């Protein structure tokens, strides 16, 4: 049977609720729509009138999967507005907790959400019946990521220890060293993960994407850097809105982002890998080579492999930070509010997360703008689906549908994040 | 006698951040054991497979914010034997209930270009406002060990043990020095339900009430204490208006201090 139009009402194994529809007529793809029906929650509206110090904890609630990303982007934006910069030791602690989130989120996506597609299972529980060892490895890896979040942040979901200026309390070196043994195991497990994933079969698919990520002169960018792309973009994060636009489309409660001159773009692990390969640790680079990845990778289905490589990096980086750790004293710097606008952009597990806040003299938020990674990938995801389906029209609908779901899950979409953030420009100066 | 059937569990999501259902996947050590003991019938965050109702247990995350969801929760209730709400959104309306104090039309126009594309209710309300709820698990996010406790209690036909007393008792039990008395840090611990393990005070920070009001909280007395620490009324209003803003004791206190 040849493919006809179909729709997936609820897309499984993603965070949040969405679905998609593909319309096919006379053996041509007529329309692809990702429907985002996750209900709006209006964060940008109720941030108005809140104090600067509340932004990290409030915005964390946008996403239970990547709260650290929200806390980091918020802290950096506030500090940018008030003209302060925490010292090196605080910066390192921030990188460490971010590594924890990357490990936890990547392990979740690789093992629990995406691998079942490649191996033909409905979910990880079924997969565990035949691949118990791999699933146990994934769960322990995830647990170790969470252990970093819990030690540095207080808990793994919506950590409580992050504040503007730094942290409420810094862990001792001894406490961090207690993680080292597990992290060494995790690094080996991440290397094993790249080998395991490298053996999957990847559909032959690639497009000419514009990849966008942060770039830092000396490290694989997490919290700071310039926004760059493989098509010539190279801007300070404060210039974001001069280059990127958002559009509100009827079928989605998440706005679609585009680069003004060129349209759809791609953020996340694949973008970071293509733009910042040289900044990965040598072990991570080696694991990529061993897995058969080149210096560049344009196949979104191999995103799972790149996530595994980034997991190796995150474990490696966490170990480096712990080895060099000096307890920041005090754990946070003084912050004095002033009138101004601040920008923050950090690399969430799924890609760049942009925050902008405008403050009055008491540090109250006058307006806020938040652009999460998934809404930046939505248009690319739709375009991928359109092209992917057009080369596979001969497949029966159920197989085609599953492959399309897999193609969307390449982006590890977080629909809870993507919904309701991009805002209309009503600036009241 | 027929072999014992595995209990069927479903996980449902309304307006939320996904964090509370993620807590289930964060039970790394227990996940495979739990999955072996029950039949996970509906859990879209984790599985493509969908098994029809009725369900022995439904875990419900998120608050009701759209006309469609207002209907959907009734369908779920009808198909469910034991309905357990997980987290602050489902038990009190969540952070998105901040709209309840404002005009939602204004909010929509602030966030979206095309208001006509957005369907939303004026208020974000907890599940209990719509259907009968068998058990409510607090927290933003929930504590995963409490989740395992509640699940195993229901699977074994006993009552779950999740204390309704305040965070202060947790501090005392952990031997933590009171941050409010010793350091003058405003803390919501005296009016907030236990369950987190007094996390914030353990990190030398005041509790910010993410588990919602404890049983019989004296919110007015706490506000007076905060005033004495130099906290202004508008700041007190904001403190009560966070992740459990629409929970009655917190809502009433914030409204009293707004006057």
Residue A186 confidence (pLDDT): 98
Residue A34 confidence (pLDDT): 78
Tell me the residue range of the domain where A151 lies: 43-381
Answer whether B161 touches A (CB < 8 Å): no
ipTM of the complex in this document? 0.94
Categorize the per-residue pLDDT at A353 as very low, low, confident or very high, splitting at 50, 70 and 90: very high
What is the tally of structural domains in chain A? 1
H/E stretch holding A116: helix A115-119
Give percent of chain A above pLDDT 90. 73
Q: How far apart are CA A171 and CA A154, in angstroms?
A: 10
Per-residue pLDDT for A238 more than 80?
yes
pTM for this predicted structure: 0.94
Query: Is A13–B20 a contact, with Cβ atoms under 8 angstroms apart?
Result: no
Compute the C-alpha angle A21/A23/A28, nearest 5°.
Answer: 140
A131-157 residue pLDDT tens: 999 999 999 999 999 999 999 999 999
Q: How far is B161 from chain A (nearest CA, A)?
A: 21
Residue of B nearest to A406 (CA): B48
- Name chain A contacts of B19, Cβ cutoff 8 Å: 61, 63-65, 67, 157-158
Residue A429 confidence (pLDDT): 27
How confident is the model over A94-105, as a mean pLDDT?
98
Burial class (CB in 10 A: 0-12, 13-18, 19+), A192: middle
Q: Which of B207, B211, B173 is nearest to B190 (CA)?
A: B207
Q: Higher-confidence residue: A46 or A312?
A: A312
Per the domain annotation, does A405 fall within a domain?
no
Asked if B61 and B94 count as a contact pair (C-beta separation under 8 A), the reply is: no
Residue A420 confidence (pLDDT): 34
H helix runs in A291-418, sequence order: 303-324, 373-390, 397-409, 415-418
Residue A417 confidence (pLDDT): 58
As a three-state string, the secondary structure of chain A is: CCCCCEEECCCCCCECCEEEEEEEECCEEEEEEEEECCCCCCHHHHCCCCEHHHHHHHHHCCCCCCHHHHHHHHHHHHHHHHCCCCCHHHHHHHHHHHHHHHHHHHHHHHHHHHHHHHHCCCEHHHHHHHCHHHHHHHHHHHHHHHHHHHHHHCCCCCCCCEECCEECCCCCHHHHHCCHHHHHHHHHHHHHHHHHHHCCCCCCCCCCCCEEEEECCCCCCCCCCEEEECCCCEECHHHHHHHEEEECCCCECCCEEEECCCECCECCHHHHHHHHHHHCCHHHHHHHHHCCCCCCCCCHHHHHHHHHHHHHHHHHHHHHHHHHCCCCCCCECCCCCCCEEEEEEEEECCEEEEEEEEECCCCEEEEEEEECHHHHHHHHHHHHHHHHHHCCCCCCHHHHHHHHHHHHHCCCCEHHHHCCCCCCCCCCC
DSSP letters, A309-339, are HHHHHHHHHHHHHHHH----SSSB------S
Query: Is B238–A54 a contact, with Cβ atoms under 8 angstroms apart?
Result: yes
Q: How far apart are CA A40 and CA B16, in angstroms?
A: 10
Residue A29 confidence (pLDDT): 83
Categorize the per-residue pLDDT at A427 as very low, low, confident or very high, splitting at 50, 70 and 90: very low
Q: Which of B26, B118, B196 comes nearest A40 by C-beta?
A: B118
Per the domain annotation, does A110 fall within a domain?
yes
Residue B123 confidence (pLDDT): 92
How confident is the model over A318-342, as a mean pLDDT?
97
Domain boundaries, chain B: 8-155, 167-258
Q: Which of A207, A197, A208 is nearest to A391 (CA)?
A: A207
Q: What is the CATH number of domain B8-155?
A: 3.40.50.700
Per the domain annotation, does A426 fall within a domain?
no
Per the domain annotation, does A334 fall within a domain?
yes
Which residues, numbered 184 to 213 in chain B, qualify as contacts with chain A under a Cβ-Cβ cut-off of 8 Å?
Answer: 196, 199-200, 202-205, 208, 210
Answer whether A172 touches B (CB < 8 Å): no
Q: How far is B115 from chain A (nearest CA, A)?
A: 10
Q: How far apart are CA B11 and CA B31, in angstroms?
A: 14
Residue A2 confidence (pLDDT): 47
Per-residue pLDDT for A426 more than 60?
no
Asked if B189 and B180 count as a contact pair (C-beta separation under 8 A), the reply is: yes
Pairing type for strands B39-42 and B8-13 reads parallel
Answer whether A122 touches B (CB < 8 Å): yes
Compute the C-alpha angle A304/A138/A195, nearest 5°.
Answer: 55
Per the domain annotation, does A305 fall within a domain?
yes
Please tell me the least confidently modeled range out of A273-277, A368-372, B47-51. Answer: B47-51
Q: How far apart are CA A326 and CA B154, in angstroms?
A: 47
How far, in Å, are A38, A153, A216, A372, A416 from residue A164 at the CA level? Answer: 30, 14, 22, 20, 24
A18-77 residue pLDDT tens: 777 788 887 888 888 877 766 778 898 889 999 999 999 999 999 999 999 999 999 999
**Over its length of 259 residues, how does chain B's per-residue pLDDT go in tens digits?**
455 788 999 999 999 999 999 999 999 998 888 888 898 888 887 888 778 889 999 999 999 999 999 999 999 999 999 999 999 999 999 999 999 998 777 777 766 666 666 678 889 999 999 999 999 999 999 999 999 999 999 999 999 999 999 999 999 999 999 999 999 999 999 999 999 999 999 999 999 999 999 999 999 999 999 999 999 999 999 999 999 999 999 999 999 999 8
Size of interface A-B (CB pairs under 8 A): 196
Per the domain annotation, does A419 fall within a domain?
no
Domain at A291, CATH number: 1.10.645.10
How confident is the model over A3-23, as a mean pLDDT?
71
């Amino acid at each position: 049977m040849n493919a006809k139009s179909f729709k997936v009402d609820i897309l499984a194994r993603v965070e949040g609720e969405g679905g998609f529809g593909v319309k096919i007529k006379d053996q041509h793809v007529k329309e692809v729509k990702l429907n985002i029906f996750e209900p709006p929650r209006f964060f940008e509206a109720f941030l108005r009138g809140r104090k600067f110090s509340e932004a990290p904890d409030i915005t964390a609630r946008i996403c239970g999967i990547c709260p650290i990303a929200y806390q980091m982007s918020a802290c950096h934006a506030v500090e940018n507005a008030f003209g302060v910069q925490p010292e090196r030791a605080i910066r390192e602690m921030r990188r460490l907790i971010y590594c924890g989130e990357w490990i936890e989120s990547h392990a979740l996506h690789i093992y629990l959400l995406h691998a079942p597609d490649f191996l033909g299972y409905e979910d990880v529980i079924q997969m565990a019946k035949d691949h118990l060892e791999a699933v146990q490895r994934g769960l322990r890896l995830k647990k170790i990521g969470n252990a970093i979040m819990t030690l540095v942040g207080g808990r793994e979901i919506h950590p409580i220890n992050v504040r503007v200026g730094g942290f409420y309390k810094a862990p001792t070196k001894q406490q961090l060293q207690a993680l080292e043994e597990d992290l060494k195991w995790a690094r080996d497990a991440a290397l094993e993960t790249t080998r395991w994933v490298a053996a999957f079969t990847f559909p032959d698919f690639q497009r000419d994407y514009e990849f966008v990520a942060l770039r830092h002169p000396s490290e694989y960018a997490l919290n700071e850097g310039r926004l760059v792309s493989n098509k010539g973009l190279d801007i300070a994060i404060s210039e974001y809105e001069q280059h990127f636009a958002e559009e509100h489309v009827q079928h989605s409660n998440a706005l679609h982002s585009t680069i003004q001159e060129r349209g759809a773009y791609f953020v996340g692990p694949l973008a970071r890998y293509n733009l910042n390969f040289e900044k990965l640790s040598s072990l991570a680079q080696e694991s990529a080579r061993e897995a058969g990845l080149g210096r560049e990778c344009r196949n979104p289905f191999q995103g799972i492999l790149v996530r595994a490589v980034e997991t190796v990096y995150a474990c490696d980086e966490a170990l480096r930070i712990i080895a060099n750790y000096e307890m920041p004293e005090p754990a946070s710097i003084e912050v004095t509010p002033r009138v101004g606008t601040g920008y923050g952009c950090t690399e969430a597990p799924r890609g760049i997360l942009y925050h902008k806040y405008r403050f009055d003299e008491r540090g109250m938020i006058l307006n806020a703008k938040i652009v999460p990674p998934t809404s930046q990938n939505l248009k690319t995801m739709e375009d991928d689906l359109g092209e992917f389906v057009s080369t596979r029209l001969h497949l029966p609908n159920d197989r085609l549908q599953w492959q399309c779901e897999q193609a969307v899950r390449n982006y590890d979409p977080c629909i809870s994040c993507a919904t309701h953030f991009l805002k209309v420009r009503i600036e009241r100066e | 006698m027929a072999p014992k059937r595995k209990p069927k569990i479903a996980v449902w999501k309304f307006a939320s951040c996904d964090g509370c259902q993620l807590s289930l996947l964060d039970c790394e050590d227990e996940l495979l054991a739990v999955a072996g003991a029950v039949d996970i019938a509906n859990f879209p965050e984790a599985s493509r497979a969908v098994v029809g109702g009725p369900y022995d247990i439904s875990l419900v995350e998120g608050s009701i914010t759209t006309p469609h969801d207002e209907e959907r929760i009734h369908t779920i209730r009808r198909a469910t034997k034991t309905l357990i709400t997980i987290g602050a959104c489902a038990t009190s309306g969540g952070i998105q209930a901040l709209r309840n104090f404002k005009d939602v039309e204004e909010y929509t126009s602030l966030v979206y270009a095309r208001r006509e594309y957005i369907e939303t209710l004026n208020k974000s309300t907890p599940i209990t406002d719509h259907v009968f709820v068998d058990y409510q698990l607090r927290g933003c996010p929930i504590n995963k060990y409490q989740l395992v406790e509640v699940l195993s209690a229901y699977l074994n036909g006993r009552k779950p043990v999740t204390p309704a007393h305040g965070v202060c008792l947790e501090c005392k039990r952990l031997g933590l020095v009171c941050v409010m008395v010793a350091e003058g840090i405003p803390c919501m611990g005296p009016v907030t339900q236990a369950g987190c393990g007094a996390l914030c005070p353990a990190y030398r920070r005041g509790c910010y009430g993410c588990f919602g009001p404890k049983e019989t909280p004296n919110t007015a007395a706490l506000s007076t204490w905060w005033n004495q620490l130099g906290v202004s009324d508008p700041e007190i209003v904001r403190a009560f208006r966070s992740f459990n803003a629409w929970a009655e004791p917190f809502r009433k206190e914030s409204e009293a201090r707004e006057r």
